[in-house]
Amino acid sequence: MSDVLVVIPAYNEEQNIERVVDNLVTNYPQFDYVVVNDGSRDSTAEICRKNGYNLLDLPVNLGLAGGFQAGLKYAWRNHYAYAIQFDGDGQHRPEYIEGMRRKMEEGYDIVIGSRFVTEKKPKSMRMLGSNLISAAIRLTTGVKLKDPTSGMRMFSRKMVEEFALGLNYGPEPDTVSYLIKQGAKVAEVQVTMDERIAGVSYLNPVNAVKYMSKMLFSILLIQNFRKRDSRYRKKNGGDDR
């Protein structure tokens, strides 16, 4: 068994999921994976079953947070040292997983696959939103993240436990900001991401603006009142740090 679990949340990814998983299975067999079908309305689950993929088939759509947490519960119960969030649309490249794992071994809790460690951000409305979120995280935590909206994130066993046992964790920049405040060490490594070649992204211009506004409001205000899940604190001796 690998010490890394690739968690692939998938919602209506019938046009992409076979390409994503087959690439992992064929070219990167050293990593384990699980597809979390988040109540898809298309044939995503059927394709996974037909191909014998390792599948968690959720009966209803829980959204990214719920689907990802299901994958982290699987990682926790099966004793993986690391779990990586990996998009089912084909944008994330598995050749960077090993480098992210090596970075984790330096003592980090979260390693983000960043497009902008050595590359310069293009000027666009979407990157403006990313810059604002980065500024908000730096203002509230003192930590500079160059690509806070990247969905390619690897988590340590400690973080896997927290996501698996907590109720209020989503794989989003505001949660990363909150965990930094709680003492989590975060690093970024340079990656290249591909464009989605099939299917429709949730982040159209309207939803992108809503998303950025929600993240900024959460990071700058809501996170000041957030507390760790009581079950996690009890399990870890009542420590509320």
Residue whose tokens read 């310069």: 120
Mean pLDDT of the region 153-161: 96
Confidence grade of residue 224 (pLDDT, cut at 50, 70, 90): confident
At residue 121, the pLDDT reads 81
At residue 166, the pLDDT reads 83
Query: What is 4-235's CATH superfamily?
Result: Spore Coat Polysaccharide Biosynthesis Protein SpsA; Chain A (3.90.550.10)
Higher pLDDT, 130 or 234: 130
Which residues does residue 32 pair with via DSSP β-bridges, in sequence order?
5
- C-alpha torsion angle, residues 121, 122, 124, 128 (rounded to 10): 10
Strongest mean pLDDT among 102-116, 122-136, 199-213? 102-116
- Residue 78 DSSP symbol: T
At residue 146, the pLDDT reads 95
Mean pLDDT of the region 137-155: 95
Give percent of the chain above pLDDT 70.
Answer: 89
Q: Classify the phi-psi angles of 237: left when phi > 0, otherwise alpha if psi is within -120 to 50, otherwise beta.
A: left
Mean pLDDT of the region 120-140: 87
On the question of pLDDT at 208 being above 70, the answer is yes
Q: Give the number of residues written for the chain.
A: 241
> Domain coordinates of the chain in residue numbers?
4-235
Q: What is the pLDDT of residues 35-85, one digit of tens each?
A: 999 999 999 999 999 999 999 999 999 998 899 999 999 999 999 999 999
Q: What is the pLDDT of residues 161-184, one digit of tens each?
A: 999 998 778 889 999 999 999 999
Phi, psi of 174, deg, nearest 5? -70, -35
Beta carbons within 8 Å of 75's beta carbon, 6+ residues apart:
5, 7, 34, 83, 160, 164
At residue 241, the pLDDT reads 34
Identify whether the C-beta of residue 39 lies closer than 8 Å to the C-beta of residue 60. yes
